[in-house]
Structure 1
C-alpha cells in the first residue's frame, strides 16, 4: 500500500471513530434525565434531547428553530437577556435560577430549575440550557412549610412553655406560654442566641437546650449536677432536670426537659426545651411529707397498728401507710411492707390471711365498720389481735381501707379468767343454795310460830330466786357460746305481763308513772289471753329488763305504753316511754356492758334481752328521738313449727 492509500485508510478510520463518538454522545445526550436545549445567544434552538421533548410534549421538528426564552418560559426570564450575562458565560460560569415554564398551546404552567452555561459546538460558541421539572419538589416544599407552620401553631398554643433553637443556637420558636412565664416576647428573642439571664438573672451561661444540642455531657453534669439532672427514660437524646429559679422576680420551682431534633436524614437540626412551673406540686409534696411525718409521730404513741390499704379496680393492693406499731407487733419495717405487702400477710396463718384478703378485696363495701379477731403464733407465745376498718370508695373503683390492729391478748386472758371465775361461782353457789332451799322447805313442814314461819318462808323463796338467777346466768353463758338448747312451751303472754305489772308498779308509782297496756291496738284486760311459745322464765327476764329500762328512762309523771300486736307469723311487743336513748350509746345499745347515766347500771340488761330474743328466733329493734321518745320493739315467732 502506497502513502496515499495509507492516508486514505487512516482518514476513513478516523471518520468511523468520529461517527461512533458522535453516536455515543447522542446516546448520552438523549439519555439525560433533565431536558437539554442547545441554542444560540439570541435564543434560537439548535438541538434538543428526548427528555426536553417529553417535558414540553412536542416533537423535535416543532422545537427546532423556536426561541427558547419566548416560547417555553414565562416572560421576563433571564434567558431573554443572555447578552447581559454573556461575560459570565464566556469565563465558564454556570448561571442557575428557578422559573415557570409553559407548554405551547397549553395554559398549564409548571415550576422548573434552569442551569445555563456556554459550550463549543462545531467550533462555535453555543448555549446549553438544562431544564428540570421541580413540581413535585415544590409540592413537598409547600407541604413541609405548611407542616412547619402547623407545628409552630401547635407549639405556640401548647400550654407548656416551649422554645426551640436551631443548630446555630438561635431561637426559632418561643411560644405564648413561654412569653407568659418569662415576660419576654418572641420578638425579643427570635433569630437571636438565647439569653440565659431570662432564667438565671445576672448569669451568662448555656441553658440545657444549648448543651443537649451539642450533647456536651460533661458540661451538662457540671452545670446541673445539683439540679436532679438525668437522662430521660422516655425520649432519646434528652435530659431532664429541676431547679428553683427567680423568673420575673418570683421564685419558682421549675422542671425542664431538653431534647435533640433530627431531620429525615438523621441530621441534628435543632433542640427543643419545655419548662414547667411545678411550684404548686412541690408545695403539695412538701405538705404531704409534713402530714405523713405528723401522722407517723401521732400514730407512734397509739397502742396498736394504724394502716391505710388501697385496693384498685385492677385487683392490685398495697399499703399506703402503716404506723410504727408494725415493728412492735410483728417486728417488720413499715417501709418494707409498703413496698412488699406480702411480708405482712406471710406472718399470718393461711386461714387468717384468707380472712384479710376477703375483706380487703370486698367489691362493694357497706360503709359499716368491719371487725374481726384473729390469733398469731409466734414461737412459744400466742397473740390475739382485733382488726377494725372502714372503707372509702374512691374514683375509678379504688377502695381505700382505713384500719387499726389492736393487741387484745390481755383482754382475751382476762375474759377467759372471768369466764372461769363466773363458772366457779355459779357451781360453788348452787350447792349451798340448794341445801338452804331444801332445809328451809323441810322446816316449813315443822310446827313453827307464825314469825318463824314467815322467816323460813322468806329464806326458802330467796334461795329459790337466787337459784333461778344462777340458772338464768348459766343459760346466758350457753347462749353466748351458741350451745343453749331451747325448750319452748306454750304460755299466756298477757298473764306474764300482769305479773310484771305487779312487780314494777311500786317503782312506777315512785316516779308517778302510768302503765298503759294495749292488745291489737285496744285497751288490754287482764282477762284477755294471747298464747306464745317459748321459755317463760327467759322471756319474762327479757321483758323485765326492757320494762326496767323504760321505768328508769321515762320522765316523771309520764306514761309507759306496752302494746301487744299479733301478725301473720309473729307477735310484736312495743314498749314505749318518753325518754331518749343517749346518742353516745345508740350505735352499740345491745352490746355487753354498755350503759349511760345509771348509777348502778351494769350494761347487761339489753345485752341479755337481745340474746334471749335471738335464741327464740326473734329480734329487738328500737327507734328513739327527743320528740318521740323511745320504742323498744320485740318480735317473737307465733310458733316454732311455722319457722321450721
Structure 2
C-alpha cells in the first residue's frame, strides 16, 4: 500500500480492483449461513473489506438504498453509496477528506480494524439536496480465510436525534427567558417609583416578545425539518429588513458593550421572497456574530447584488478554529454548551427553502464573515424544484 498522503487526506486511498472485490464478495454470497442469517434479520447490514469497500449488502441495506442487487455498487465505500457530501471532496473518495476526521462511521470502522467492536453516531449530509441522515453505526471485525472484513450495522436515529435536540434547546431557551421575565415582574412588584415601574413594564414587554419569538422560531424550524413549511412570497426592501433586525437586536443583552451597524455600502434592493424566513436567517446570523464578537467589538451587516442574486453578509472580529469549521453546519454540533447551537444549522436549513446558499470565511487577521445568497426573485418554478 502506498504511504503517500495528500495534505487534507484522512485515510489512505488504495482500493482493490473490481476482480479482487468480486472474489471477496463471493465468499459471502456462497455462504448459505451468511445469506440466511443476514438476509432475514430485519436490520441494515453492510460488509466492507480492509479498504472500506462494500462487498456485501443484506436485504435491509438494499431496500434502504433502493437497489435490486449489489452489482452496481460493489467496491464503492459507504459514503459514496449513501451520497455523502464529503465523499467527492477528494479524489480518494469516502474517508479521505479532512471532514472525514469527524465521521462517526469512519471512526467506528477504524476501531473495528483494531479488533475492537465499536458504535458511533454519524450525521451524513447528502450532496443531492443537502438533507441529512442521522445514523447509529455498529462496526465489528470479521476474519474469513485470513482476510479482514468489517460488518457494519446501520440504524436510522433521525427522529430520536431531532426530537431530543430540538426539545433540549427549546426548553433551555424558554426557561431562561421565563426566569428573566419572572425576575422583572418581581422587581415591578417591589418598586413604587413610577418611572422605574414604567421602565420595568417596557422590559417585561420586550421579554414577552422574545418569548413569543422563541416559540415561533421553534415551530418554524420543526416545520422546515419536516418539509411542512409553506413559503409566502412578498416584496421587501433589503435595507428595510436590515433596519428592522438592527432595531430588534439594539436592545438585546448580547449587544451590551458591542456595536451593531449596517455597512454604508449596502444596496437598497426590492426582494421577492419569504420575508419571515429572511428575517429569521439574518437574525440568527447577527445573534451568532454578537456571541462571537469580542468585548467592545463591532458587528457589521450588509448586502449587495451578485447577478440575479442578493447576498447578505455579517462580519465580526472573532475567529473560528479549524476543527469547529469542519462541523459548523451540523445540527448536533455546537460551540456552546450542549443546550445551545441551532443557529448555523438553521441558517442552512432555512436557506435551502429559499433556494439559497450559506458559506463563511474566517481568519485570525480579518475575523469571520458569514454570507447568505438568494435569488432576488424567488419564482414558483424554483420553489418546486
Q: Pick the TM interval, shorter chain.
A: 0.5 to 0.7
Whole-angstrom CA distance in 2 between matches of 1:501 and 1:634: 17
Question: Contact 2:313/2:371 (CA < 8 Å) preserved in 1?
Answer: yes
The equivalences for 1:32-181 within 5 A come to: none
Task: Tell me the equivalent position of 2:301.
Answer: 562
Question: Over residues 384-442 of structure 1, what are the superposed CA-to-partner deviations in whole Å (9 max), with x where a residue is unaligned?
Answer: 965699xxxxxxxxxxx998836546x557437648979x99xxx9xxxxxxxxxxxxx
Task: Tell me the equivalent position of 1:209.
Answer: none
Task: Tell me the equivalent position of 2:377.
Answer: 639
> Runs of 5+ in structure 1 lacking a partner?
1-307, 375-383, 390-400, 430-448
Seen in structure 2, the aligned counterparts of structure 1 residues 417 and 611 have a Cα distance that, compared at 3 Å, is closer
Q: Quote the offset at 1:347 in angstroms.
A: 5.1
Whole-angstrom CA distance in 2 between matches of 1:601 and 1:580: 22
Equivalent of 1:510 in 256, 261, 282 = 256
Equivalent of 2:274 in 535, 539, 545 = 535
Does 2:2 align with 1:312? no
Question: Contact 1:310/1:318 (CA < 8 Å) preserved in 2?
Answer: no
Q: Quote the offset at 1:533 in angstroms.
A: 2.6
Question: Contact 2:232/2:273 (CA < 8 Å) preserved in 1?
Answer: yes
Question: Contact 2:55/2:75 (CA < 8 Å) preserved in 1?
Answer: no
Partner secondary structure for residue 348 of structure 1? helix
Higher relative contact order (Cα pairs below 8 Å, separated by 6+ residues): 2
Partner secondary structure for residue 328 of structure 2? coil
Equivalent of 1:405 in 122, 145, 152 = 152
Question: Over residues 138-162 of structure 1, what are the superposed CA-to-partner deviations in whole Å (9 max), with x where a residue is unaligned?
Answer: xxxxxxxxxxxxxxxxxxxxxxxxx
Q: Quote the offset at 1:505 in angstroms.
A: 3.7
Question: Contact 2:263/2:300 (CA < 8 Å) preserved in 1?
Answer: yes
Task: Tell me the equivalent position of 2:63.
Answer: 351
Task: Tell me the equivalent position of 1:626.
Answer: 364
Equivalent of 1:495 in 221, 240, 244 = 240
Seen in structure 2, the aligned counterparts of structure 1 residues 453 and 497 have a Cα distance that, compared at 3 Å, is same
Task: Tell me the equivalent position of 1:606.
Answer: 344
> Runs of 5+ in structure 2 lacking a partner?
1-12, 29-33, 41-46, 81-86, 96-104, 106-121, 125-133, 140-147, 175-193
Whole-angstrom CA distance in 2 between matches of 1:509 and 1:343: 56
Partner secondary structure for residue 405 of structure 1? strand
Question: Contact 2:123/2:330 (CA < 8 Å) preserved in 1?
Answer: no
Task: Tell me the equivalent position of 1:415.
Answer: 161
Structure 1-normalised TM-score?
0.35
Task: Tell me the equivalent position of 1:482.
Answer: 227
Question: Contact 2:259/2:297 (CA < 8 Å) preserved in 1?
Answer: yes
Question: Contact 2:361/2:369 (CA < 8 Å) preserved in 1?
Answer: yes
Task: Tell me the equivalent position of 1:550.
Answer: 289
Q: Quote the offset at 1:481 in angstroms.
A: 2.0
Question: Contact 2:38/2:58 (CA < 8 Å) preserved in 1?
Answer: no
Question: Contact 2:272/2:376 (CA < 8 Å) preserved in 1?
Answer: yes
Seen in structure 2, the aligned counterparts of structure 1 residues 602 and 593 have a Cα distance that, compared at 3 Å, is farther
Whole-angstrom CA distance in 1 between matches of 2:150 and 2:14: 8
Question: Over residues 481-535 of structure 1, what are the superposed CA-to-partner deviations in whole Å (9 max), with x where a residue is unaligned?
Answer: 2232211211122122223223334557634x4445336xx3x5xxx74322333
Partner secondary structure for residue 348 of structure 2? helix
Partner secondary structure for residue 640 of structure 1? coil
Partner secondary structure for residue 627 of structure 1? coil
Whole-angstrom CA distance in 2 between matches of 1:558 and 1:450: 32
Q: Quote the offset at 1:310 in angstroms.
A: 5.2
Whole-angstrom CA distance in 2 between matches of 1:479 and 1:548: 20
Seen in structure 2, the aligned counterparts of structure 1 residues 623 and 450 have a Cα distance that, compared at 3 Å, is closer
Question: Over residues 445-482 of structure 1, what are the superposed CA-to-partner deviations in whole Å (9 max), with x where a residue is unaligned?
Answer: xxxx9999988887777555534432321221121122
Question: Over residues 213-234 of structure 1, what are the superposed CA-to-partner deviations in whole Å (9 max), with x where a residue is unaligned?
Answer: xxxxxxxxxxxxxxxxxxxxxx
State which structure, 1 or 2, has the greater radius of gyration over its C-alpha atoms: 1
Question: Contact 1:490/1:531 (CA < 8 Å) preserved in 2?
Answer: yes
Task: Tell me the equivalent position of 1:279.
Answer: none
Whole-angstrom CA distance in 1 between matches of 2:58 and 2:338: 47
Seen in structure 2, the aligned counterparts of structure 1 residues 489 and 309 have a Cα distance that, compared at 3 Å, is same
Question: Over residues 55-104 of structure 1, what are the superposed CA-to-partner deviations in whole Å (9 max), with x where a residue is unaligned?
Answer: xxxxxxxxxxxxxxxxxxxxxxxxxxxxxxxxxxxxxxxxxxxxxxxxxx
Q: Quote the offset at 1:639 in angstroms.
A: 0.6
Question: Contact 2:165/2:332 (CA < 8 Å) preserved in 1?
Answer: no
Whole-angstrom CA distance in 2 between matches of 1:586 and 1:544: 21
Task: Tell me the equivalent position of 1:469.
Answer: 214
Question: Contact 2:246/2:261 (CA < 8 Å) preserved in 1?
Answer: no
Which has the larger displacement, 466-475 or 488-497? 466-475
Whole-angstrom CA distance in 2 between matches of 1:478 and 1:386: 24
Partner secondary structure for residue 497 of structure 1? helix
Q: Quote the offset at 1:640 in angstroms.
A: 1.2
What is the Cα-based RMSD across aligned positions, in Å?
5.1
Seen in structure 2, the aligned counterparts of structure 1 residues 557 and 418 have a Cα distance that, compared at 3 Å, is closer
**Which structure shows the higher strand fraction?**
1
Structure 2-normalised TM-score?
0.55
